[in-house]
Amino acid sequence: MNRVVAIIVAGGGGRRMGGGLPKQFLPLGGRPLLDRTLSAFTASPQVDGVVLALPPSVSDEMKASYRSVKKVLAVVDGGAERQDSVRNALAAVPAEAEVILVHDAVRPFVSEELLERCVERAREHGAVVPVVPVRDTVKEWDRAEKTLCTRDRSELMLAQTPQGFRAGILRDAYGRAREEGRQGTDDASLVEGAGHPVVPVPGEEANIKITTPEDLRMAEGFLRRQPDFRIGVGGDAHQLVEGRDLWLGGVRIEHERGLLGHSDGDVLLHAIADAIYGALGEPDIGQHFPPGAPETKGISSRSIVAHARGRMVEKGFGLVGLDAVIVCEEPKIAPVAPAIRTAIAAMLSLPADRVNLKGKTTEGMGFEGRREGISAWAVALLVGSFPATEKGTA
């Protein structure tokens, strides 16, 4: 039963942090912020299910990787505003849910103790918000007098997430807000506007929201200095045959023959997936995607990589770097390598400079040299690191 469901809001497409990625996908200690946040919720015994709101621009493969994570019930498109993203996610929360938590994807250091407090108090009071006291002196600009005025900080608190609600209260608040055309700065403000009392619970200073480059640098200091590195090696080979499209690294290559396989035959993506599975200590592709199973007949190998990435997220690891080799006499790899690297980086939510690809020939030796087939090899470096305050191991 999905009695406690968490909505993780990652629907924004903002790039104020710089670079080409929305902030929720920026790396922190080798893992995207969102992956760290999601792992905290899926690992918690307090949480039965998760609904994830992602930007509509996120690729289908990326969405599939998150759907494959244990406890993820649905992945929905985010909206123009945060409130729209939560509303879309709320529609995917199962009807039997008793408590709903709503959490910002860019708060990756939420603790198990905070989750437990929010769930217990939400059941008891109906609506709760974790808060921390305002420690600095608060000033307000008086426009009329053109001077700063000191305000009493003792009555002020800083709100955090996850904010917890009995499911009926949150659904009622969002329904009324839509009817009245009312906007809120957070979910609790909508609940307040619907006439429901909201109770504070103790938040945590470490539960920071990462919105600026300075926040990201500070967050790095929360991580252990000795991360857990894992290395995996993967390889695959397929025969070249007439009447098949040639797929390498998720890119369709112009060639007179394609690779034979139960799936689309993409040897490079198969090697990459096996390298990730190997680093995680998991069985190879054949165990996850049995070659004789009718449901896997003709599937895109992008789906296989998405599954491998989902297993990384679930186990608390991130991909630091990837090095791969394609062995064939033809086609020539150098002209298509940039497109392949870009495609692989997008599938794995990596910067392109973390993906390396080389093409090699065997100078006529072996099945590759006789142009009978193509082989590929990949090495994946994974890292698992957790907040310095967290108990347990990576």
Domains of the chain: 4-220 (3.90.550.10), 228-384 (3.30.1330.50)
The whole-number pLDDT of residue 205 equals 92
Tell me the pLDDT of the chain averaged across its residues: 90
The whole-number pLDDT of residue 59 equals 87
The whole-number pLDDT of residue 13 equals 65
What would the pLDDT profile of 275-323 be if each residue is shown by its tens digit?
A: 999 999 999 998 999 887 888 888 999 999 999 999 999 888 999 999 9
The whole-number pLDDT of residue 155 equals 84
> Do 331 and 255 contact (CB within 8 A), yes or no?
yes
* Portion of the chain with pLDDT greater than 90, in percent: 72
The whole-number pLDDT of residue 46 equals 95
Q: How far apart are the first and last CA of the chain?
A: 28
The whole-number pLDDT of residue 17 equals 59
Spans in the chain with pLDDT lower than 70: 13-20, 224-226, 385-394
What would the pLDDT profile of 70-113 be if each residue is shown by its tens digit?
A: 999 999 999 889 999 999 999 999 999 999 999 999 999 999 99
325 has which bridge partners?
358, 377
The whole-number pLDDT of residue 18 equals 55
The whole-number pLDDT of residue 125 equals 96
> Do 141 and 81 contact (CB within 8 A), yes or no?
no
The whole-number pLDDT of residue 226 equals 61
